[in-house]
Structure 1
């Protein structure tokens, strides 16, 4: 097993979160710029509707930004170099049905040409895996997972 694999998984998660933060900020800036450039037309209702739509878009982007920042704060508590005997926040769990990085819910991420799944410890699969060790098994939605290794 690649000794720097967990560090690479961690870095990939940070990269994806930073991208979400940047996209949310860019979208907010764009919406603000549109709002600033909007001129009041003679059709007042059209103007008010347009401003309301831009306001809603800004609010949605602000929510996405806050969620991304919360994810970044959560993952920042992980120490990638730490090894685990049982599945914990920050561990990599290798099963017969995939490899799961218990961290934050980002879904499939690819590192060194191999797919991993970044899952939150509170997700349905994450909560079943928590505190399990190698050779233990779980079942989710009729699918059996046998833990081969916890790193």
Structure 2
């Protein structure tokens, strides 16, 4: 397996790429909605037109909220220093347990580095909360499953 700094950097880069892709999709979605709103012309069925505009406005608001959430997620990732290491689990930690491996960052699901799976999780998730502040050798109990922390990067 790669050296420890490379693992953390690889996980961070994968997270950033996923967020950037989602940001582009969200921005394109907002642009498409704006274009739809601008091209909407008054038809003979006025109520139908107003309903269509209202629906597009709601879609635009929802897309705007999604964009804001993605930007907050990106801001969390920007706080992670891939070259730092700690003996205590915190934001940016890569955690190896006897059951699964975790990257404490943002919730993005499963990531792979050199055929090793890691779960990108937020510190605010239930398992993230259990892991925070723990050290190598400590045990956590998550949903009836005991896990032993083997290594922290």
**TM-score exceeds 0.5:** yes
Which of the pair has the greater relative contact order for Cα pairs under 8 Å at 6+ separation? 2
Aligned residue pair count: 151
Partner of 2:79: 77
Q: Choose from 12, 15, 36 the match for 2:14.
A: 12
RMSD (Å) for aligned C-alpha atoms: 1.0
Q: Please give the residue correspondences for 1:122-133 in structure 2 after superposition, counting only pairs within 5 Å.
A: 122-133=124-135
d(CA) in 2 for partners of 1:42, 1:20 = 38
Question: 1:112 offset after TM fit, Å?
Answer: 2.8
Instruction: Name the residue aligned to 1:55.
Output: 57
The 1-side partners of 2:7 and 2:113 are apart by 8
SS of corresponding position for 1:21? helix
The alpha carbon displacement at 1:111 in A equals 2.7
| Aligned counterpart, 1:2 | 2
For normalisation by structure 1, the TM-score amounts to 0.96
Where has structure 1 moved over 3 Å in runs of 4 or more? none
The reply to whether residue 116 of structure 1 matches residue 81 of structure 2 is no
Structure 1 Cα separation of the partners of residues 98 and 55 of structure 2: 48
The SS at the match of 1:117 is: strand
TM-score (norm 2): 0.95
